[in-house]
Amino acid sequence: MTTERSLVLVKPDGFRRGLTGEVLRRIEAKGYTLVALSVLTPTREALERHYAEHEGKPFYEPLVEFMGSGPVTAVVIEGDDCIKGFRSLAGATNPTEAAPGSIRGDLGRDWGLKVQQNIVHGSDSPESAQREIGIWFPSL
Ligand code: DAT
Ligand code: MG
């Protein structure tokens, strides 16, 4: 077991739907600690850095546009193996396929034409977490 930090975003769809508290509740119920939290409408520049690995993919432009469409809640969480653990809480990328019990499985809507709307982001590795925390919380 390793104490880790992960970067979580409640995306604009989750924020708009009033699900920020529900996501934070699940994080805390799991035993993870909130280290930093900020509500902001992301800049294009921050989103381009955050999603650099997806640049050039067909969903990149709609994703960046959607993520800049309104406020998000950016959160740094901390806990034992919380990077993998939060990915597990979040569930599969596509809410239709995400297991019941997970955030996307319980709360996510059918992707339809809005494929990028899956409520939350969570870092996928220690390297990504460090890089992403640097983007959203440069002072940490
Ligand atoms: P995750 O958010 O589960 O880590 P990812 O990093 O592969 O997934 O993709 C980032 C986001 O981009 C994802 O949350 C939703 C969107 N996305 C991923 N794959 C997609 C696809 N095939 N079509 C449309 N949007 C997609
Ligand atoms: Mg990802």
pLDDT in tens, 17-64: 999 999 999 999 999 999 999 999 999 999 999 999 999 999 999 999
pLDDT of residue 112: 61
Q: What Rg do the C-alpha atoms of the chain give, in angstroms?
A: 14
Report, in this order, helix, strand and coil percent for the chain, each rounded to 5: 40, 20, 40
Burial class from Cβ neighbours inside 10 Å (0-12, 13-18, 19+) for residue 48 reads: middle
Q: Find, among 62, 67, 65, 66, the residue nearest to 135 by Cα.
A: 67
Which residues sit with their C-beta closer than 6 Å to ligand 1? 54, 59, 63, 93, 115-116, 118, 121, 124
The tokens for 133 are 């925390």
CA distances from 131 to 30, 43, 51, 125, 127 (A): 24, 17, 11, 10, 6
The tokens for 39 are 């509500």
**Between residues 110 and 4, which one has the greater pLDDT?**
4
- Residues 75-120: tens digit of each pLDDT: 999 999 999 999 999 999 999 899 999 999 999 986 665 667 999 9
Tell me the CA–centroid distance for residue 51 and ligand 1, in Å. 10
State ipTM. 0.97
Exactly one of 5, 26, 50, 121 is catalytic; which is it? 121
121 as an active site residue: the answer is yes
Model-level pTM? Answer: 0.96
Architecture of domain 3-136: 2-Layer Sandwich (3.30)
pLDDT of residue 135: 98
Tell me the CA–centroid distance for residue 38 and ligand 1, in Å. 23
